[in-house]
Amino acid sequence: MLDDLPRPEPGRPLPPGLHPLLAGRFSPYRFDPSGVVDDHALELLLEAARWAPSAGNSQPWGFRTARPGEADHARVLRHLAPSSARWATDAGLLIVALTRRTVDDSALLYSEFADYDLGQAVAHLTLQAEALGLASHQFRAFDLDALTAEFRPAPGWAIVSMIAVGRAADEPSPARDRRSTGDLRAAPWTHP
């Protein structure tokens, strides 16, 4: 079964013990416009997000999905920044990611961890995409105010980011360097 999983890009060895889905994941800057995300794949992506952990099991995330040919797709596209419109337009699925920050329209926090928990749900979704042979690219290059006015999220909810999902039409950059694990432990601390 592991032989069927994606491998990291050529010339980059798989770190021992790291799952191939993690090592093979990348954010493409080109999508194949013929790469359809069907209903089954969409449900699996949302199911993966549904199983993400959250503080107090609050699950403070929501998604608005739009595929080419659907009415919401054109509504989303018109708010993309030129930088993301160049590549996100061809994705088989655009997802608007929202978080529930407050209780309705009050100042009462729904969850102080809402943005963190949304990130967990999106991480689950992106790994499920990899498992399905799809690529994903998270981004924030869109007009947040205009997109919010367009879709009018329910009180207490806020749009945070978007995810383009589809079949990648490019390969990972050979310069996909990551910081070392030692840097991850040391970088944020000012005192030993």
User: For 11-34, how does the pLDDT look when each residue is reduced to its tens digit (9 = 90+)?
Assistant: 556 678 888 888 888 999 999 999
Residue 180, domain member (yes or no): no
Residue 14, domain member (yes or no): no
pTM of the entire structure?
0.87
Q: How many whole angstroms separate alpha carbon 1 and alpha carbon 48?
A: 20
CB-based contact 97:61 (threshold 8 Å): yes
Q: Which tens digits make up the pLDDT trace of 83-103?
A: 999 999 999 999 999 999 988
* pLDDT reported for residue 6: 47
CB-based contact 152:25 (threshold 8 Å): no
Spans of the chain below 70 pLDDT: 1-14, 174-176, 179, 184-192
Residue 109, domain member (yes or no): yes
Residue 59, domain member (yes or no): yes
- Print the domain residue range for 80: 46-167
Number of domains observed in the structure of the chain = 1
Write the single-letter amino acid at 67: R
Which residues are within 8 A (CB) of 188 and not within 5 positions of it... i.e. 6 or more apart? Answer: none
* pLDDT reported for residue 192: 59
CATH code for the domain of 132: 3.40.109.10
By C-alpha distance, which of 121, 119, 131, 135 is closest to 20? Answer: 131
Residue 187, domain member (yes or no): no
* pLDDT reported for residue 28: 95
